Structure formats: C-alpha cells, structure tokens
Amino acid sequence: MAFSHTESISGTEHMKNSEPKSCDPYVDSLIRNADAKEARAFLKILKPLPFLIVIIAVFFFWVSFSRLLSQVA
C-alpha cells in the first residue's frame, strides 16, 4: 500500500491497528494481560541494571586508579 505525502497514520490510529483483534473480546483481554505480564517481567529484570552499571564503573575506576598509583610508586 503506497502513501502519498498528504496521507499519514496518527499514533492512535496505529495503536488501534496493532491491538489484537479476535472475534471474542475475552480473548483480546487475555492477550493484553499476557503482554502486560511480559512487560512487567522485563521491567523486573531491568530494575537492578543501574546498580550493576555503577558497580562495574566503580570497579574499573578502582582498577585503573590502583594501576596508576602502582606506576607512580
């Protein structure tokens, strides 16, 4: 399907098109709930990520600083 330069899909229209569509609204709600559960599980995995990044950064800083001090001494 080709779009001319005057045609565009708005964000809400795109979201309507990407929502699950079945004959049964109960099935639709189950699909949405499954997607929400997946998103919550993914966010649980990402939650400790900033702390891990800080720990790794401090470790590399400490190693490089200790090497610098050993070269000076």
| Residues of the chain by 3-state class (helix, strand, coil), percent to 5 | 75, 0, 25
Interval 15-72: pLDDT, tens: 555 555 667 787 788 788 888 888 888 888 888 889 999 999 999 999 999 999 888 8
The span from the CA of 15 to the CA of 32, in Å, is: 13
pTM (predicted TM-score): 0.44
